[in-house]
Chains A and B, each alone.
Chain A
């Protein structure tokens, strides 16, 4: 809200120093943004919160100043002279949509001379950033910025049928507004019509057909009260926001309408001459019933932590326009808010009024606050360990948007077959320039991977190297009739090959839950290369998927280089991780290490071979480690491979002898030979 320093001083004496003024306004709720000099005036920019429409006007701001600096507030009392035929004889107003227009008043002025406004009026409006149009329009604007009531002046002679009807638009109706744009009107909007057609969009903007021009002789001054929600939705639907709609949206002072109409007519008579027809047309609701609030002044100390003397409370509330009476009980006051303060309906609101004017700087900021313990959850700790492991593995952390376009959503959804949730409107401006044509960003993602492939693509296009990224975030899986499930996932996208990424995942598991045996099972997901991907399982539970990105998907996501992805379920990782590690005795005796080079069929999987070795090795087997695979068809025959592996044997009770080690190795080899047709090279 822009206010003029000179204009304010019409209603209240201002402190000599501007700094003092804006500081007190800031500290009582009108945050000072900036002040600039305009001519010999100053334009003060104040931030007005949506609950204070009364401060969207100079009188409202002046009232705050009068209370803050204890100065009297002077408000003009317009009593324009009238004459001639009563206005009711001239024309009639009816409201057909009382849910959209609560009240409509009109006054008629005959014989005006439309022309330039006097200098003082041009200057006042210029200070608050409004261009002067003519003496009639300027008067309506002046009164709106004075008291907050929007007004509109019609060229009376261009109204058809001597009547005004306030109604919803007829089917197919449109309006050429004074900004010379044409608007198609829809049900739910509030139209001001004459005997024939729509002439104005109530509370939003007037129509060009009845606009005041230099030729205008007789004018009709409208001051009305429109439903805030419908004004808001109309302004948004038509993308037509005006100073009037801004004020009607926040609700106006219903009891000030007639004052504003008289004030506007008085100004027009002053600056454009003419004669005000006697009487006023005033239809609809007259006023809202205001409830008195039972107020316990001691509540202030219970809420604010400081007491404010009762006399000061009464002075503050009285100055703000509240009526304060005894509440019938010595601990209570009966307080009725003024009609411009629709935001105040409860005791707590009065506490705020007294507190903000008294000043929150009186509230101490160094009292004792009791100490309590705070608990850190297991999940939180595990996630921190996952992050630490991922960064140690050379991965940078990404954060990507939760809403994705359809093309990404359908590219990869291993966790659910249920359709994604759709947002009522897309996220705008979130796509990289090269991805603008991918479609509306309006689906809640069911996997992190597509968003991360896009991150990979952007990094590739910028010639970045070592593009290895992870993200920990939720996916959204629809659940009929309930809130969706939002499991947390760990997504990885990197330039690694399958086996290196698997190694990274295993390394992370090693840190979280070293006893975990990770199973890799074949899977068939179009995003992944079928020969280089797997579903990862721990016991019977799916931990996630891991694999190299298929050529098809690389084309779909415009990725040039080879890449691999993994997506793992964080809840399962949390479940696998022990909150506290239990210590196990370590053997003080030396180990014996043996390398084997086993020849087996290509179909033998390492997991199965290792399981056999673990079983056969029994208690003495400390570890079995994979080294390498070779193929030599000439010596070993077709479809055979050599697996080089190392076993470490150790006893917890004694130094292992060569004979014991030999015996264990023999039983391992025998078992491998029986179960996997393995032979020692």
Chain B
């Protein structure tokens, strides 16, 4: 058993104001017979002064040693210090964090939903009817319980877009709504330099009274300014998605050319109806971005597969 606290330091032990040994001797003065008391008192003070000056002397010499400005030739200030390796976040996580942060500043709250979806949320509610080519079994990961016999494509599949989350939020929330949904989505493309059967999407949805395409364009402009750090020209041009009408593709002007940054549009009245919103009262804007695409453009990554191989030398490039 060992002891070692501030109370037990030698200085405290001998000179401590309350329990030091010198203090104990001082207390013992009371027991000295009357006539000897003054002499004993003087002697004690003398001892105390001697101890005090010896202590100060010792401190002074310690201080002056500390201040001696003599170089030690053996000291090499250029030696590396022991480094602690700090891990890195995946570049996709960093991109998602940045998108979330920007969208939060624009008032969008992030929402999540299941990756395994039913046909209603992945298709019907998004204006993709039963006969639509987008429902082709070859274009989706339909699911069944392993080992069980099934007939035809089942009702469950891995979601092919995060718009499913928008449907789920609108089904359970009264308008107005201002959310983003972020997460993994799946399409059975064979992996190559520009495709991967799993990727990440961010989709924004704003539903309120009187929302028009001018709101959409303004939001896209604000987003581009935040993301690129400067006000750059944007444009929207017609495109086609089942769940928006009109549908547009949004581009920003960067380094002398138009760069596509995502799809957008006004929420299709059919989508509003399918979640019980009256499209004559409420209107909405929606936009979606491919996270990998933005991440790859920003970091000049040329092969999407690098993002999912997770070679630590690749991961450690991002900070």
Taking Cβ atoms with an 8 Å cutoff, the residues of A that contact B are 26-29, 31, 49-52, 229, 232-233, 236, 249, 301-306, 346, 348-349, 351-352, 355-356, 360-361, 363-367, 369-377, 380, 384, 387, 390-403, 418-425, 427-430, 432, 443-444, 455, 458-459, 462, 464, 466-470, 473-474, 476, 478, 483-484, 486, 590-596, 655, 658, 665, 680
Docked CA distance A541–B144 (Å): 30
Q: How far is the CA of A302 from the CA of B213 in the complex (A)?
A: 9
What is the minimal beta-carbon distance from B294 to any residue of chain A, in angstroms? 15
Q: A305-B214, A425-B188, A427-B198 are in contact. List 14 more A-B contacts (CB 8 A).
A: A29-B237, A49-B240, A229-B131, A306-B213, A363-B213, A365-B221, A366-B221, A422-B143, A427-B188, A428-B197, A455-B310, A462-B313, A486-B116, A665-B1
Q: Are B116 and A476 in contact (CB under 8 A)?
A: yes
A2–B258 Cα gap in the complex (Å)? Answer: 21
Q: How far is the CA of A303 from the CA of B216 in the complex (A)?
A: 11
Of B116, B118, B197, the residue contacting A421 (CB under 8 A) is: B116
Q: Which residues of B contact A467 (CB under 8 A)?
A: 312
| Residues of chain A with a CB closer than 8 A to B283's CB | 302-303
B275 at the A/B interface (Cβ < 8 Å)?
no
Q: How far is the CA of A403 from the CA of B142 in the complex (A)?
A: 12
> Is the Cβ of A352 less than 8 Å from the Cβ of B246?
yes
**A595 and B191 within 8 A (CB):** no
The reply to whether B133 and A232 contact each other, CB–CB distance below 8 Å, is yes
User: Which of these, B138, B178, B213, contacts A236 with CB under 8 Å?
Assistant: B138
Q: Which residues B1-22 have CB closer than 8 A to chain A?
A: 1-7
**Interface pairs (11), CB distance under 8 Å:** A29-B237, A31-B237, A229-B133, A367-B215, A394-B87, A419-B147, A419-B148, A429-B305, A455-B309, A473-B184, A484-B156
Q: When the two chains form their complex, are residues A396 and B312 in contact, meaning their CB atoms are under 8 A apart?
A: yes
Nearest CB in chain A: distance from B185 CB, A: 11
Q: With A302-B212, A398-B315, A419-B146 as known contacts, state yes or no: A393 contacts B87, CB within 8 Å.
A: yes
A506 to chain B, nearest CB (A): 17
We find that the number of chain B residues with CB closer than 8 angstroms to chain A is 96
B124 part of interface (Cβ distance < 8 Å)? no
Distance in Å from the Cβ of B48 to the closest Cβ of chain A? 25
Q: How far is the CA of A374 from the CA of B177 in the complex (A)?
A: 11
Interface string of B89-117 (1 = CB under 8 A from A): 11011000100000111111110001111
Whether A595 and B1, one on each chain, are in contact in the complex, defined by CB atoms closer than 8 angstroms, is yes
Query: Restricting to B217-231, which residues have a CB under 8 Å from any CB of A?
Result: 217-222
Residues of chain B having any CB pair with chain A under 8 Å? 1-7, 84-90, 92-93, 97, 103-110, 114-118, 131, 133, 136-138, 140-148, 153, 156, 158, 176, 178, 184, 186, 188, 190-192, 196-198, 208, 210, 212-215, 217-222, 234-240, 245-249, 266, 268-269, 283, 305, 307-313, 315-316
Q: Collect the chain A residues with CB atoms within 8 Å of residue B158's CB.
A: 402, 423, 444
**Once the chains bind, are A427 and B197 in contact (CB under 8 Å)?**
yes
Known: A50-B133, A399-B90. A372 touches B107 (CB 8 A): yes
Whether the Cβ atoms of B141 and A466 lie closer than 8 Å is: no
Interface centre among A360, A361, A393 (most CB of B within 10 A): A360
Shortest distance between the CB of A611 and any CB in chain B (Å): 22
CB-nearest residue of chain B to A233: B136
* Cβ B146 vs Cβ A421 within 8 A: yes
Closest 3 A-B residue pairs measured CB to CB?
Answer: A305-B214, A429-B191, A305-B212
By CB atoms of chain A within 10 A, which of B86, B213, B240 has the most? B213
Chain A residues with CB under 8 Å of B212's CB are: 301-305, 363
CB distance from A486 to the nearest CB of B (A): 6
The answer on a CB contact under 8 Å between A421 and B144 is yes
A459 to chain B, nearest CB (A): 6
Query: B153, B217, B236, B249 — which one has the most chain A CB atoms within 10 A of its CB?
Result: B217
- Measured between alpha carbons, how far is A302 from B212 in the docked complex, in Å? 6
Would A397 and B107 be within 8 Å (CB), given that A50-B133, A360-B238, A427-B191 are in contact?
no
A77 to chain B, nearest CB (A): 31
Tell whether, in the assembled complex, residue A348 and residue B116 are in contact, meaning their CB atoms are under 8 Å apart. no
How many whole Å from B105's CB to the nearest CB in chain A? Answer: 8
Is the pair A592, B312 in contact by a Cβ cutoff of 8 Å?
no
The listed residue with most A CB atoms (<10 A of its CB), out of B6, B114, B237, B238, is B238
CB distance from A443 to the nearest CB of B (A): 6
- CB contacts (< 8 Å) of B188 on chain A: these are 425, 427-428
Residues of chain A lying within 8 A (CB to CB) of residue B198: 401-403, 427
Contact A232 B218 (CB under 8 A): no
CB neighbours (8 Å) of A363 from chain B are: 212-214, 217, 236
- Residue of B143, B217, B218 near A423 (CB, 8 A) is B143
Contacts A249-B133, A421-B146, A592-B5 given; does A391 touch B89 at CB 8 Å: yes
Task: Indicate the member of A349, A361, A424 with the most B CB atoms within 10 Å.
Answer: A424
Closest residue to B197 on the A side, CB-wise? Answer: A427
Query: Cβ of A466: which chain B residues have Cβ within 8 Å of it?
Result: 85, 312
B90 touches A398 (CB 8 A): yes
